[in-house]
């Protein structure tokens, strides 16, 4: 890790290019400050180098609505072809449940159960506490993690969703990165791995958690980070600002009533395909090029945008 930003910075100075580094999951807590120091030093020497960070930990979602951590076991894997109500019926069957627990114990997944957290019903929380982990629930119930996973899922009629944040799980580290002047917000994933990941809510969570709840950033600072900073970095002109001649791409937000429920799993893709979605409350209108594109959560039918291509 030590030589990567320095070598990259040399190339950027020579060719006059910009480069954005994303955060690698394998970076240790001690490596991240070093990388930030190297980025700052490289920028001082003239390199156009930036880093990207998330606004919270991101990772894989688990639940009987789709995949679970224990699907390597045959009895768990067999459930994946069933409808949710049929899965729940199997989970309530003592004999089948006993088989599931036994198989999960015999061939446990290579994952730390103290890093899997039950998401709350209602408003989404990602600043997970240790007592919200699957391991903690198992200890509280006096059962194995697999049995705790089943029990908690039955309590929510099979709709319980668990989060396994493998990237940026430490909010202290996220805060350090978001505070750095050479770090931009990014990596909100929703178009890939749609049955495992739902991170398109990162901008809304940034407003709710870092601005409204923690008051670590002002609303004005947050809007700039979410709009102008990234537009300028990638050379997208006349966006991220409200002024004469700029593109009128705007969100009208009821900030006081902004809400972000936990993800849910739906079947709304072609051929019966499924995905996680995470809707929000508080976005009144979204305008693209001055025309109302979204009215609340409903598309108006207007398509006033165009594909942005590199020069």
**Alpha-carbon distances of 96 from 9, 65, 88, 92, 154, rounded to whole Å:** 58, 18, 11, 8, 14
b/e map 147-186, b = 16+ CB within 10 Å: bbbbbbbeeeebbbbbbbbebbbebebbbbbbebebbbbb
**pLDDT one-digit tens code per residue, 141-181:** 999 999 999 999 999 999 999 999 988 888 998 999 999 99
Query: Residue 310 pLDDT more than 60?
Result: yes
pLDDT-based confidence at 35, cuts 50/70/90? confident
Asked whether the beta carbons of 160 and 63 are under 8 A apart, the reply is yes
**pLDDT one-digit tens code per residue, 104-154:** 999 999 999 999 999 999 999 999 999 999 999 999 999 999 999 999 999
Best CA proximity match to 68, nearest among 26, 141, 118: 118
Report, as an integer, the average pLDDT of 30-40. 82
**pLDDT one-digit tens code per residue, 74-89:** 999 999 999 999 999 9
- In terms of pTM, does the model score above 0.85? yes
Report, as an integer, the average pLDDT of 37-65. 89
CA atoms within 13 A on the CB side of 149: 26
pLDDT-based confidence at 1, cuts 50/70/90? very low
Task: Label residue 274 exposed, middle or buried (CB < 10 Å: 0-12, 13-18, 19+).
Answer: middle
Cα 55 to Cα 221: distance, rounded to the nearest angstrom:
14
Give the pLDDT score at 198.
92
Give the pLDDT score at 171.
92
Asked whether the beta carbons of 90 and 68 are under 8 A apart, the reply is no
Asked whether the beta carbons of 182 and 225 are under 8 A apart, the reply is no
**pLDDT one-digit tens code per residue, 200-247:** 899 999 999 999 999 999 999 999 999 999 898 888 889 999 999 999
Query: Residue 301 pLDDT more than 90?
Result: yes
């Amino acid at each position: 890790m030590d030589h990567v930003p320095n070598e990259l910075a040399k190339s950027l100075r020579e060719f006059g290019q910009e480069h954005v580094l994303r955060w690698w999951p394998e970076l240790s807590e001690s490596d991240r400050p070093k990388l930030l120091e190297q980025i700052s030093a490289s920028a001082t020497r003239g390199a156009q180098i930036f880093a990207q960070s998330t606004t919270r930990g991101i990772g894989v979602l688990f639940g009987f609505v789709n995949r679970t951590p224990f699907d390597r076991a045959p009895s768990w894997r067999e459930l994946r072809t069933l409808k949710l109500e049929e899965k729940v019926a199997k989970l309530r069957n003592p004999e089948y449940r006993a088989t599931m627990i036994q198989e999960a114990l015999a061939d446990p997944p290579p994952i730390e159960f103290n890093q899997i957290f039950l998401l709350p019903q209602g408003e989404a929380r990602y600043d997970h506490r240790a007592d919200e982990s699957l391991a903690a629930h198992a200890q509280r119930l006096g059962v194995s993690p697999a049995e705790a996973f089943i029990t908690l899922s039955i309590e929510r009629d099979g709709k319980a969703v668990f989060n396994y944040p493998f990237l940026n799980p430490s909010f202290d580290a996220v805060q350090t990165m978001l505070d750095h002047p050479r770090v931009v917000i990014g990596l909100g994933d929703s178009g890939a791995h749609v049955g495992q990941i739902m991170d398109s809510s990162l901008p809304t969570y940034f407003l709710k958690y870092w601005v409204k709840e923690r008051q670590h950033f002002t609303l004005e600072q947050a809007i700039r980070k979410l709009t102008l900073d990234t537009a300028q970095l990638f050379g997208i002109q006349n966006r991220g600002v409200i002024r004469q001649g700029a593109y009128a791409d705007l969100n009208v937000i009821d900030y006081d009533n902004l809400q972000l429920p936990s993800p849910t799993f739906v079947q709304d893709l072609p051929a019966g395909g499924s995905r996680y979605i995470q809707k929000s409350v508080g976005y009144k209108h979204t305008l693209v090029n001055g025309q109302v594109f979204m009215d609340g959560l409903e598309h108006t039918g207007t398509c006033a945008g165009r594909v942005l291509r590199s020069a």
